[in-house]
Structure 1
Amino acid sequence: MGSFLITKRANGEFQFVLKAGNGQVILASEGYTTKAACENGIESVRKNSQDDARFDRLESKNGKPYFNLKATNGQIIGNSEMYESVAARENGIESVKKNAPDADVKENL
């Protein structure tokens, strides 16, 4: 089972990552000024990850596939790592869909 991990950045902002059951990070958030806003971001991932249309499938300047997960308002709520192939990116998206709804929330503050 996956898990969300909330951490605090050096600049004081809060961030979360979604990890798959094997511990690999499959989605990372932007920085949030408060822990409550970070927790709201996690809830947004839970909800929006179940709608395939919320995933923007993109390619970096160096040709590596990646994705962003967007909220209903179009704001990016999480982004992936760079993948070696389109198939690997699709596996990452499927992992977010599978793990996000029931993932535990942990803190390392």
Structure 2
Amino acid sequence: MAGWYEMKKNDKGQYSFVLKAANGEVVLRSELYESRAAADNGIASVQKNSPVDSAYTHSDASDGRFYFNLKAANHQIIGTSQMYKTAAARRAGMESVRTNGPTTAVKNEA
């Protein structure tokens, strides 16, 4: 089973999405978008950029945990990972986004 995107709309009418791995774990969270069309474009950007190694930036939080961002060709952040306890776990999260990001499956909660 492949991963999928889940689209949500908050009480202010803003949209966001998460990318879930096949096991249902969230591996990437988007920013907030003002329209559904903009959020759909965000998903398209993840689909396009997730296989590209140079689209990932590695970061360390001030508390010693690890995370990554996925960036578009224009260097804007498309999505951010969860916080990981180890750099190895962060690498595994990045690999999950590379694997699941190209999926076209979208579940709409919006």
Classify the TM-score, shorter chain.
over 0.9
Name the amino acid aligned to 1:6.
Answer: M
SS of 1:43's partner is helix
Q: Does 1:78 align with 2:76?
A: no
1:16-95 alignment, distance < 5 Å: 16-95=17-96
Name the amino acid aligned to 2:20.
Answer: K
Identify unmatched segments of 5+ residues in structure 2: none
Deviation at 1:103, TM superposition (A): 4.2
Identify unmatched segments of 5+ residues in structure 1: none
For the aligned residue pairs, the C-alpha RMSD in angstroms reads 0.7
Runs of 4+ in 1 over 3 A off after TM superposition: none
SS of 1:93's partner is helix
TM-score (normalised: structure 2): 0.96
Give, in whole Å, the separation in 2 of the partners of 1:67 and 1:103: 22
Give, in whole Å, the separation in 2 of the partners of 1:77 and 1:11: 21
TM-score (normalised: structure 1): 0.97
Percent same amino acid among aligned pairs? 48
Does the 8 Å contact 1:26/1:96 carry over to 2? Answer: yes
Inter-CA distance 103–95: structure 2 relative to 1 (3 Å threshold): farther
Q: Number of paired residues?
A: 109
Does the 8 Å contact 1:67/1:79 carry over to 2? Answer: yes
